[in-house]
Chains A and B, each alone.
Chain A
Amino acid sequence: MTLDSVDLTIWYAGIVLDVVLLGLLMSRRVYKDLPVYFIYLLWSLSYDLVAWQLMRTLSPEACLQQYMVGITVNALFVFAVWIELGRKVLRYNGATAPGRLFVLLLFVVACLPLWLLAQQAPLSARHTVFRLLFAHLRQIIGILMVAVLLTMAWLSRILDLRWPERELRIATGFGFSFIIALAVNILQTHGFAYPIHRLLDQISVAGYLGTLAYWVLSFSQNETKQQNYYPQV
């Protein structure tokens, strides 16, 4: 199996999983409860369809440009989904939102060690300015995503919050793909040559595919009802 055929397989699998997941969310009317998450998946599907066509027609530099726009919009969508999840969890617990300054402080605390860690392996100077910019952007987004994940986990612990099963599944899926993406981003700063570098890219995309597959599996199951409050008397 060549690297190109792996790309094609991953692309097809992504499209199929996206469509199945959107179908499941529509049949379960999840789009009413989690509209931002639903729109994010719609965006993801449409971007996958358009990007593949563009990659076959555009020059490598132009491809990189559209990819940079793509990952930035994607990151903004993911932030919006996390805000939606956070609000849902707070409402579920009947809790008020913590102070913005406190949340920001936690976020900065989460970002700092990750940022310092990424600086330990500076990006290769062999790249063109544009490629260097792209690598930096990817690294920054990867760090911010994991920092969001850590901030949510810390807040959830500090405020003793319960998570509804569905929202927890969405968070788990994101968490898995963020951690894979961070690992790949950090590895790629070590300047591996062509086949390994490309393979790492594919691992990162496969991580997101794993997330989609997990969501499909989760949403195709019924949520378990909690036991009755009153024990046997």
Chain B
Amino acid sequence: MIVVLLQAAVVAGIAFYFYRWRSEVRRRNAQSWDSLLARLRPDWSARELSDRFLWKEGLSATAEEIWQRLEGPKGLWVIYRNSSVMLEMADYAAKNARDGGDSEGVDRVLLETLRSDAMQIRVCVLTALSQYGFSQASEGVRVNAFRAATIYTGMAARMTQLIQVHAALVLPDFVAAM
């Protein structure tokens, strides 16, 4: 009887997971630019990470200072969430550039770089957060947080460049939201 219940639970779990995945993909397909902007987390801003955040890649502080400016795991989590939203923004811009008849379209290499940035940020943030769970702010946590912040500034700069070229009208909103 237990086996039957377990089997039923697993099949129901797979069905539910599939349903959730499909709903999420559909939500992504249907979202507007404004809804994407609204999903950028306002509770922490990365402006303090570098002197010319959004316009220039790289950090202007040590790993210790960056950890302070990140406000610990709070900033890391915002970086994690925002990188995913920025990638969705880039995909959205690419799709609309195609549909809108933009002859040049969004640079494929730029899109690929943004995707790679988002992946690396995820790995760094998840590693840093799991290390933080075990050993608080150890050297390893700070190094991973520093790496995540570095990639994040690069990603944000590339995103600004993309919007500047393909949708300059919405650039002020993006800058304000970030």
Residue positions of A touching B, CB distance < 8 A:
93-96, 113-114, 117, 120-121, 146, 149-150, 153, 156-160, 162-163, 165, 168, 171-172, 175, 179, 182-183, 186, 190, 225-231, 233
Contact = CB atoms under 8 A, between A and B. Distances in A.
B53 to A, nearest CB: 23
Contacts of A96: 112
9 contacts: A94-B94, A95-B115, A146-B14, A156-B25, A157-B21, A160-B115, A162-B91, A179-B11, A190-B4
Interface in B155-178: 166-167, 169-170, 173
Contact of B29 (A158, A162, A182, A230): A162
B89 to A, nearest CB: 10
A227 B21 contact: no
Q: Which 6 pairs of residues, A with B, have the shortest CB-CB distance? A: A229-B96, A153-B21, A94-B111, A120-B3, A183-B11, A94-B108
Interface of B: 3-4, 6-7, 10-11, 14-15, 17-18, 21-22, 25-26, 28-30, 32-34, 84, 87-88, 91-97, 99-100, 106, 108, 111-112, 115, 118-119, 166-167, 169-170, 173
A182 B14 contact: yes
A113 B21 contact: no
A146 B119 CA distance: 26
Contact of B6 (A94, A120, A158, A172): A120
A172 B24 CA distance: 13
Contacts, number: 98
B61 to A, nearest CB: 29
A206 B28 CA distance: 31
Contacts of A157: 21
A229 B97 contact: yes
Nearest to B22: A172
Nearest to A172: B22
Contact of B84 (A113, A160, A165, A233): A160
Contacts of A150: 14, 17
Given A171-B22, A190-B4, 12 more contacts: A94-B106, A113-B10, A120-B3, A121-B3, A121-B7, A153-B17, A157-B21, A159-B115, A226-B99, A229-B92, A230-B33, A230-B167
Contacts of B11: 179, 182-183, 186
A229 B167 contact: yes
A162 B14 CA distance: 21
Contact of A230 (B6, B18, B28, B169): B169
Given A153-B21, A168-B26, A160 B118 contact: yes
Nearest to A167: B25
